[in-house]
Each structure stands twice: as structure tokens, then as C-alpha cells.
């Protein structure tokens, strides 16, 4: 879950995204995704790292490609980890489980 | 692209910044030397010009090589047409040219302002370029005009991603 810190404009608003998670989940390289979206592979990397906020048009193209609503990929608030969102597990739960396994 | 061997260059921002700083520092030093040369000639004799010419050729060659490499390390994006760039690259292209315009404009205005002051208010008291120095000043302006967009983009672009990486 990355946020855009500083992009072409300098002081752009912070935008978080899940692009890397979605891309890796589908087994796509940056170049492959860039080819599909019609952009340079470096731009995919910059978006993933939060160095660049995509335009609304590009954000829609990305959401259409992944078949997800824009707000599932981009957000002004930090994303919760997927494990927490899907299974309701928090980092504390995971730590406890790992501690139990370690003790057992 | 003058030297095709630089196509694969992918320098990080720190290295690019060092190279830009070194390039402009060299050109600045050579320029300062040339502007002071008539005085130096008085002090050290005519051989100082030979030294200058010997220094100028490698500096020009190294600058040509390093700017070619710098262009390659930012994917030649300052040389490309708008139709060949995506939206992020286009914004980098515009920002690089805008900042170059501001730097070059400020430099020209400051130089002209100094010229007016030196010529009108303090005639014969302040240094003014003469003879060959005018041509050298034009050469410096041409160098700035042709290299600044690449230098600005190389200075500001974040580190590039490895090609084809996950």
C-alpha cells in the first residue's frame, strides 16, 4: 500500500494505492502491465512507489483493467492490509499466533 | 543519439546529480578562466592560451559523453516528441523545459542587467567582455540552452525501476 509523496507537481496530495499487490497477484511484470495500459514501465513503478499520482483517466484505465472500482485501488486514506480486510485478522492476531506456534 | 552504447545506462539519482554538478562546474571553471584570460596572459604570457585550448577539448568531449549518458539514463525523454511520451513523462518534459526557461531567462536578464550597469553607470571600471569573449559567452548560452532540460530532468527524476522486474 503505497502513497504518493512527491510527484511532478511537487506538493501533490497523498494518494495511496494497491497497484503492486494487484499486479503481482495476477503475475504481471511492470512491462506487461505498462504495455496493456499504454504507458512506460517506469511510470508503473513510480505509481507503485507513490512517486507519481496518475491522472483520473489513467486511474480509470487501471481500474477497468483489473475489473475493480477505482476506490479499491486508489485511496486518500491508507489501505488496511488485505488479510485484515478479508479475514478480519490484525497484525496483533498474527503476532499472537506466531508466538503460540513458537511456544508449541 | 550520438553514442549508441549508452542505451542501457540506468544511473540512480545520486550519480546523475554528481555528474550534472561536475559537468557544470567544469564548464564554469573553463568559462571563468576564459573571462580572466587577458589578465592571466599579462601575468603568465601567451602559453596560457595553449593550456586553455588543451583543457577545452577534453572538457568538451567529456561533457558530450556525459550528457549523452545522462540522456540515456532518463530514457532520452527530453529529446522525445510529446506523442512518444506517457502522461508522467510528459509532465517531466514540461517541468524540465519550464525550469530551464526560468534558469536561462534569469541568467540572461542578470547578465544584461550587469552589462547595462557596467556600460552606463561605471564605464571602464567594471569588467565587460571584449572580442572573442563575446563568442565564448554565446557558446556558453548555447551549451546551457541545449543541456539544461536534460540536466533538470536528470537532477529531479527519481531512481528508475529495473527493467522488466516484478
How much is the mean pLDDT over chain A?
Answer: 83
The pLDDT score that the predictor gives to residue B93 is 92
Round to whole Å and give the CA distance between A90 and A95.
9
Asked whether the predicted pLDDT for residue A73 surpasses 50, the reply is: yes
Sheet bearing A16-17, strands edge to edge: A2-3, A16-17, A74-75
Query: What single-letter DSSP state applies at residue B84?
Result: G
Round to whole Å and give the CA distance between A62 and A34.
10
> Which among A6, A31, A8 is positioned nearest to B98, based on CA atoms?
A8
**Helix or strand (DSSP H, E) at A92:** helix A91-103
What value of ipTM does the predicted structure carry?
A: 0.70
Contact between A84 and A37 (Cβ < 8 Å): no
Q: Which of A39, A46, A58 is closest, CB to CB, to B158?
A: A46
Min distance A85 CA to chain B CA atoms (Å) = 24
pLDDT tens digits, chain B, 166 residues: what are they? 444 566 667 788 899 999 999 989 988 888 887 777 766 666 667 777 777 778 778 878 888 888 888 888 888 888 888 788 999 999 999 999 999 999 999 999 999 999 999 989 888 888 888 777 788 888 888 989 999 999 999 999 888 776 655 6
Secondary structure E strands in chain A: 2-3, 16-17, 74-75
Neighbours of B85 (CB within 10 A): 19
Report if pTM > 0.80.
Answer: no
Q: Which residues of A touch B163 (CB under 8 A)?
A: 31, 41
The pLDDT score that the predictor gives to residue B152 is 95
Asked whether the predicted pLDDT for residue A27 surpasses 50, the reply is: yes
Min distance B67 CA to chain A CA atoms (Å) = 21
Neighbours of B62 (CB within 10 A): 14
Q: Which chain A residue has the Cα nearest residue B153?
A: A8
Asked whether the predicted pLDDT for residue A6 surpasses 50, the reply is: no
Q: What confidence category does residue A10 fall into, taking pLDDT thresholds of 50, 70 and 90?
A: low
**CB pair distance less than 8 Å for A43 and B88:** yes
Q: Which chain A residue has the Cα nearest residue B93?
A: A8
Region of B69 (left: φ > 0; alpha: ψ -120 to 50; beta: rest) is alpha
Q: How far is CA A44 from the centre of its chain?
A: 11
Q: Which of A8, A29, A30 is closest, CB to CB, to B88?
A: A8
Query: Grid coordinates 568531449 are at which residue?
Result: B61
Q: Which residues of A touch B74 (CB under 8 A)?
A: none
**CB pair distance less than 8 Å for B161 and A55:** no
3-state secondary structure of A2: strand
Please identify among residues 42-81 of chain B the ones whose CB lies closer than 8 Å to any CB of chain A.
Answer: 75
Min distance B92 CA to chain A CA atoms (Å) = 6
Contacts of A39 (CB under 8 A, 6+ apart): A58, B86, B87, B88
Amino acid at each position: 500500500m503505497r502513497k504518493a509523496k512527491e510527484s511532478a507537481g511537487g506538493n501533490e496530495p497523498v494518494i495511496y494505492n494497491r497497484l503492486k499487490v494487484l499486479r503481482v497477484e495476477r503475475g504481471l511484470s511492470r512491462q506487461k502491465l505498462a504495455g496493456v495500459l499504454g504507458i512506460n514501465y517506469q511510470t508503473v513503478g513510480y505509481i507503485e512507489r507513490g512517486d507519481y499520482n496518475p491522472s483520473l483517466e489513467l486511474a480509470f484505465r487501471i481500474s477497468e483493467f483489473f475489473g475493480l472500482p477505482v476506490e479499491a485501488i486508489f485511496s486518500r486514506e491508507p489501505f488496511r492490509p488485505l488479510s485484515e480486510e478479508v479475514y478480519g485478522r490484525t497484525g496483533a492476531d498474527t503476532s499472537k499466533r506466531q508466538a503460540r506456534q513458537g511456544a508449541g | 543519439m550520438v553514442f549508441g552504447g549508452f542505451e542501457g545506462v540506468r544511473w540512480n539519482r545520486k550519480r546523475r546529480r554528481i555528474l550534472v554538478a561536475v559537468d557544470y562546474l567544469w564548464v564554469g571553471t573553463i568559462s571563468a578562466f576564459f573571462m580572466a584570460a587577458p589578465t592571466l596572459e599579462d601575468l603568465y604570457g601567451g602559453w596560457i592560451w595553449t593550456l586553455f585550448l588543451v583543457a577545452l577539448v577534453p572538457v568538451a568531449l567529456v561533457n558530450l559523453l556525459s550528457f549523452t549518458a545522462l540522456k540515456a539514463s532518463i530514457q532520452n525523454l527530453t529529446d522525445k516528441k510529446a506523442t512518444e511520451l506517457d502522461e508522467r513523462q510528459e509532465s517531466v518534459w514540461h517541468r524540465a523545459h519550464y525550469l530551464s526557461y526560468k534558469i536561462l531567462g534569469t541568467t540572461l536578464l542578470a547578465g544584461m542587467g550587469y552589462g547595462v550597469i557596467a556600460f552606463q553607470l561605471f564605464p571602464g571600471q567594471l569588467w565587460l567582455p571584449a572580442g572573442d569573449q563575446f563568442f565564448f559567452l554565446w557558446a556558453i548560452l548555447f551549451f546551457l540552452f541545449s543541456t539544461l532540460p536534460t540536466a533538470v530532468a536528470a537532477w529531479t527524476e527519481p531512481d528508475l525501476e529495473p527493467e522488466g522486474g516484478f
